[in-house]
Amino acid sequence: MQQLLTYFFQSIILSPTAARGLYAVKMKLCQGQIWKQGKEYIRIVRNERLEVEYKTHLSLANKQGTTNVTSKKDFCRLLKGAKLLGTKPTPLSAEVTE
């Protein structure tokens, strides 16, 4: 039983709501990800070690949106409760797959 619990907790981390028995899965940020937060979409444009540049859109049909730069910590707070829609392929990842 102890080994099962150890294995279980290695794959997830406790969230601030752990007192209520809820858990959050680890989040891996990468360039091109698209997140939906309420009515707006958030796309990661540039992902560096300490900061993230992202663009917010009201619709995925057009490319117009607001570009922002913030720290990774603040960006992760912004994504709290958001849903990951997918990853838009970047030119670098397209070269790697070929």
Which DSSP string do the residues of 18-72 spell out, in sequence order?
A: GGGT-EEE-----TTEEEEETTEEEEEEEE-SSEEEEEEES-SSS---EEEEEEH
Q: How many H-runs (helices) and E-runs (strands) does the chain carry?
A: 3, 7
Give the pLDDT of residue 87: 73
Bridge-based pairing of strands 33-37 and 23-25 is: unpaired
Give the pLDDT of residue 15: 46
Give the pLDDT of residue 12: 47
Domain boundaries defined on the chain:
33-89
Question: pTM surpassing 0.75?
Answer: no
pLDDT digits (tens, 9 = 90+) for 7-49: 444 444 444 544 455 555 666 889 999 999 999 999 999 999 9
pLDDT digits (tens, 9 = 90+) for 51-89: 999 999 998 888 889 999 999 999 999 999 899 997 765
